[in-house]
Amino acid sequence: MATRREQPKADPEQAPGESDLSFEGAISRLDAIVEQLESAELPLDESLALFEEGVRLMRTSKARLERAEQRVEKLLGYDRHGDPVSEPLEDS
């Protein structure tokens, strides 16, 4: 019997579209935010908004990395054909 995977719960503080970013997209956006903040040419309000976005992206990326690490840890070994055997990650 197939189990239904639940969709990750949306972060209420996450801006629209942030959850649609791939991990790589989030890292790229974080790099762009850091560059903008380091330029020191932004008004305070814009700097704070970018900083908040960066913190949200960092948290989302960290959670994705932790889930990926859990999936890797679930790797059980190899079957007789040399293919990796893993068990599904249980949603917690």
Q: What angle do CA 58, 63, 48 make, to 5 degrees?
A: 20
pLDDT digits (tens, 9 = 90+) for 11-68: 444 454 566 889 999 999 999 999 999 998 999 999 999 999 999 999 999 999 999 8
Nearest Cα to Cα of residue 91 among 1, 9, 5: 5
- Domain 21-74 - what CATH class? mainly alpha
Q: For residues 59 and 67, what is the distance between their CA atoms, to the nearest angstrom?
A: 12
Higher pLDDT, 92 or 54: 54
Chain center to CA of 19: 8
**Residue 37: per-residue pLDDT:** 95
Separation of alpha carbons 56 and 52, rounded Å: 6
Listed by start position, the domains of the chain span 21-74
pTM attached to this predicted model: 0.61
